[in-house]
């Protein structure tokens, strides 16, 4: 496996400016990925600081540890929803700040063996955690029509959900759908291409969300913030599609209305034009930050 994956952490300096209020503090990197955000954070923090980096992808954890090469990083092979429990076991009450980057890492997107990308053929997998049992291939080959249509419509916000679901049902009667290329061609056969966006983009998004139970995981993480963040600390969440952003926006709003939290930015922050020009994957990013009152 190649270790030469390029990885550009999105909005890293903005996030560091907003999140790292205590240079000696304990921080959570909810999706360590290849360690880009954490490496920058550690460059700004004191020798006393600690970062607990969570990832369900063991390959990414191993590469992040090698890239960051800093004893202040504590890598954890677990979902970020388990952060309060992990801190308690380490004898830490709460964190000074937490970043939840809800995007895929370049390593996952660019590795055809993981099955996330439309651009390269690979097995139809899409699992973040390779020890999990449900793959995208399982979904397209075994789920009934109504369930397929539901996830395409709800998770992919796909207007042609019924047409695509029917095409999948028809194709799988002939042969199992096992590769990204096969699925891509099925969608192309029933949905014409308009503009730059590939017609299967939203189908792939829907399957990835369903395969990894992403929306429930995000909601579970939001529900841990009271247990996780100390008074005066902050949580920053980086989203990449409207479903996640809506969950975060509504939850932050509710926390602020209850009186114990303050919205650091009332409206989502977006990457600067120069960053988007250098890294196309930043174009859909939105950042929301909330602070727990002292």
pLDDT tens, residue by residue, 140-188: 999 999 999 999 999 999 999 999 999 999 999 999 999 999 999 999 9
Confidence of residue 252 (pLDDT cuts 50, 70, 90): very high
- Tell the CATH superfamily of the 12-107+215-292 domain: Vaccinia Virus protein VP39 (3.40.50.150)
* Burial class, 276, CB count within 10 angstroms (exposed 0-12 / middle 13-18 / buried 19+): middle
CATH number of 116-213: 1.10.150.170
Beta bridge partners of 274: none
Domain ranges of the chain: 12-107+215-292, 116-213
Based on C-alpha coordinates, what's the Rg of the chain? 20
Rounded to 10 degrees, the C-alpha dihedral 191/196/200/204 comes to: -160
Give the pLDDT of residue 282.
Answer: 86
Average pLDDT over residues 188-194: 91
- 12-107+215-292 shares its CATH topology with 116-213: no
Question: Closest Cα to residue 288, out of 241, 255, 229, 248?
Answer: 248
Give the pLDDT of residue 1.
Answer: 42
């Amino acid at each position: 496996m190649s270790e030469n994956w390029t990885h550009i952490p999105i909005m890293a300096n903005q996030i560091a400016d907003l999140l790292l209020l205590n240079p000696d503090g304990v921080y959570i990197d909810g999706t360590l990925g290849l360690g880009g955000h954490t490496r920058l954070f550690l460059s700004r923090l004191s020798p006393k600081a600690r970062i607990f980096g969570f990832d369900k992808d063991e390959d990414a954890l191993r590469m992040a540890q090698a890239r960051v090469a800093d004893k202040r990083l504590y890598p954890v092979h677990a979902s970020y929803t388990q952060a309060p429990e992990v801190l308690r076991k380490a004898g830490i009450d709460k964190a000074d700040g937490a970043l939840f980057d809800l995007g895929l890492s370049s390593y996952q997107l660019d590795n055809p063996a993981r099955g996330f990308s439309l651009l390269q053929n690979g097995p139809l997998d899409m699992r973040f955690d390779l020890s999990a049992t449900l793959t995208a291939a399982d979904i397209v080959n075994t789920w009934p029509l109504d369930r397929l249509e539901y996830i395409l419509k709800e998770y992919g916000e796909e207007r042609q959900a019924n047409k695509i679901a029917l095409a999948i049902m028809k194709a799988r009667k002939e042969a199992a759908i096992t590769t990204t290329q096969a699925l891509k061609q099925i969608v192309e056969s029933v949905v014409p291409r308009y503009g730059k966006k590939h017609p299967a983009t939203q189908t792939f998004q829907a399957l990835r969300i369903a395969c990894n139970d992403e929306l429930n995981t995000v909601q579970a993480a939001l529900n841990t913030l009271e247990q996780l963040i100390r008074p005066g600390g902050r949580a920053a969440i980086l989203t990449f599609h409207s479903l996640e952003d809506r969950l975060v926006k509504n939850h932050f709003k509710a926390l602020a209305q209850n009186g114990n939290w303050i919205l650091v930015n009332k409206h989502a922050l977006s990457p600067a034009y120069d960053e988007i020009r250098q890294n196309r994957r930043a174009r859909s990013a939105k950042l929301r930050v909330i602070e727990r009152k002292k």
